[in-house]
Amino acid sequence: MTKVIKKFLPIFDERKCDKIDMLVIHCSAYNSDDMIKIMKERNVSSHYIIEENGSIFQLVSEKKRAWHAGISNWRGLDSLNHYSIGIELQASSMGQGEYSVKQINSLLVLSKQIISHYQIPLYNVVGHSDIAPRRKPDPGSAFPWKYMAQKGVGLWYDLADAVKVKENNIENLLNLIGYDTSDLSAASYAFCRHFIPQEVKPLNSVDEVIENVYPPEFALAEKYTPILKACAYRYSKSSNRHG
């Protein structure tokens, strides 16, 4: 077990299910003390905070429902706070700048412990932007999803799998991964944040990042369809294995 500093918040309630099967990664531009202060003001919480120096703070017991996901949907399921554990990362750039090695190493250790303990399927290791694509940009385009997947936390694609998928409709492919496509532009941009970060436009400030979650008319370029299909194959295959 990695060292965890307890700073419990009285902002939680009971889960309405016995099964914890999601891990949601967030980021905030504040350090832990400021983050906790803001959480108290806004009546929200997460289970953990990890600072840039790798320090880990626990705010809510994993047995309880922290209020971190908000209005959210993944693979057709909503009210995701009931099923998930939330981890906030301190990121002064809101995920536009590179995360520190110490922070990611701490996240890997903690995430692996959580995934192993609850047997969380890797297709349910997601970012806040994945489950709330219209509202949230975090953990941002600089979050190292590929590296995390290589270390056993989350999934990544193999482009060679694209030919195994006959479906070509972008909305259907995003649905196969797990995205809510009621706003296709938002879902497509969230997919880029996770898998094609070079398509995410850098913004000048944290406020801009928060206020401009996605371009309203965004459409995924056709050249990226093979990546989308390869991701759909990987997520569908993993889902079938666990189903």
* Amino acid found at 120: I
The distance of Cα 21 from the centroid of its chain, to the nearest Å, equals 13
- Alpha-carbon span 239 to 231, nearest angstrom: 12
- Residue ranges of alpha helices (H) inside the chain are 32-42, 101-118, 128-131, 145-150, 170-177, 184-195, 206-211, 225-242
* Amino acid found at 45: S
Sign, CA dihedral 174-67-62-27, equals positive
**DSSP H or E run through 73:** strand 73-74
- Alpha-carbon span 73 to 53, nearest angstrom: 31
- Alpha-carbon span 196 to 218, nearest angstrom: 14
Confirm if 12 and 49 have CB atoms less than 8 A apart.
Answer: no
Active-site residue, 52 included: no
**DSSP per residue over 90-116, as a string?**
E-TTTTSSPPPHHHHHHHHHHHHHHHH
Catalytic member of 88, 167, 171, 208: 88
The catalytic site residues sit at 88
